[in-house]
Copies of this chain bind each other. A is one copy, B any other.
């Protein structure tokens, strides 16, 4: 790959985003926002469990008061199910998520699309259900002005969380659903995609579809891939190389830290976690 000049992250809170999962959802989002702002983050990506979706304006105001902007909103509910009723329910639920995202001022709703329908071995059929579910959300995307960022998840999750597992597949889905790029984009999460032998061409091919870039690290001897992510620099991912690929597409959003780490970072003092994240953003990302 050609050497690429990475954007400067030091001193640029506008290029740093905290995904609240990093702190383990231990405190109200208003507190998390204050801590994030104090640690030099300019953006926040909250999770639905933290937001009172009946009155999102209050949480939006708390985040704004802390001096942060909302980047994305996490996340959709799964779209493949064993009954039409369950599929419709998921679509309705995701519509509400888009509305809440709009009220928060988020740019996009992150989509974790779901795995195989319950009890099913029909991988093509479940993928087709997911595509139909995404298509059904297009009017709500239009109304709310909030796009959906499709996030390919590591293939470890194919059965139970996501049948979308590579950037190239996400790009193909975007092209199928939305040739002009008005509705769907792609979230590139280093943890999920670092292993992909076709990563560089896939990211280049996704081009302006890339709407989010998440970092953490893959620990060499990961035992449990859901809640054992590493802090940037503690694992095997060459994050600078990955960021270079992402920035070569023209992506100019913040680098978003998202670390699920039940036994290590979720037990650490939140301010220590945030200080470490910021330092690592400036040294290894």
Report the bound CA distance from A194 to B122 in whole Å: 11
Please give, as numbers and ranges, the residues of chain B lying within 8 Å of A31 by CB-CB distance: none
Q: Does A195 contact B (CB under 8 A)?
A: yes
A28-76, CB < 8 A from B: none
Please give, as numbers and ranges, the residues of chain B lying within 8 Å of A221 by CB-CB distance: 159-160
Q: Does A154 contact B (CB under 8 A)?
A: yes
Evaluate contact between A220 and B116: CB separation under 8 angstroms. Answer: yes
Please give, as numbers and ranges, the residues of chain B lying within 8 Å of A176 by CB-CB distance: none
Report the bound CA distance from A154 to B222 in whole Å: 14
Report the bound CA distance from A218 to B156 in whole Å: 10
Evaluate contact between B156 and A236: CB separation under 8 angstroms. Answer: no
Please give, as numbers and ranges, the residues of chain B lying within 8 Å of A163 by CB-CB distance: 195, 197
User: Nearest B residue to A123 by beta-carbon distance?
Assistant: B238
Please give the distance in Å from A233's CB to the nearest CB on chain B.
10
Q: Does A5 contact B (CB under 8 A)?
A: no
Please state the number of chain copies in the assembly: 2
User: Nearest B residue to A157 by beta-carbon distance?
Assistant: B195
A151-176, CB < 8 A from B: 154-156, 158-160, 163, 165-166, 168-169, 172
Q: Contact check: which of B120, B154, B169 meets A197 at CB < 8 Å? A: B169
Please give, as numbers and ranges, the residues of chain B lying within 8 Å of A104 by CB-CB distance: none
Please give, as numbers and ranges, the residues of chain B lying within 8 Å of A158 by CB-CB distance: 194-195
A211-240, CB < 8 A from B: 218-225, 235-238
* Given A159-B236, A225-B156: A165 and B220 interface contact (C-beta under 8 Å): no
Evaluate contact between B154 and A156: CB separation under 8 angstroms. Answer: yes
Please give the distance in Å from A207's CB to the nearest CB on chain B.
20
* Given A156-B155, A236-B159: A223 and B220 interface contact (C-beta under 8 Å): no
Supply 21 A–B pairs (Cβ within 8 Å), ascending by A: A115-B220, A116-B220, A121-B236, A121-B238, A123-B238, A154-B156, A155-B156, A155-B195, A155-B196, A156-B156, A156-B222, A156-B225, A159-B195, A159-B221, A159-B236, A160-B220, A163-B197, A165-B196, A165-B197, A169-B197, A224-B224
A-B interface, 8 closest residue pairs, ranked by CB to CB distance from nearest = A158-B195, A121-B238, A169-B197, A155-B195, A159-B236, A159-B220, A155-B155, A156-B156
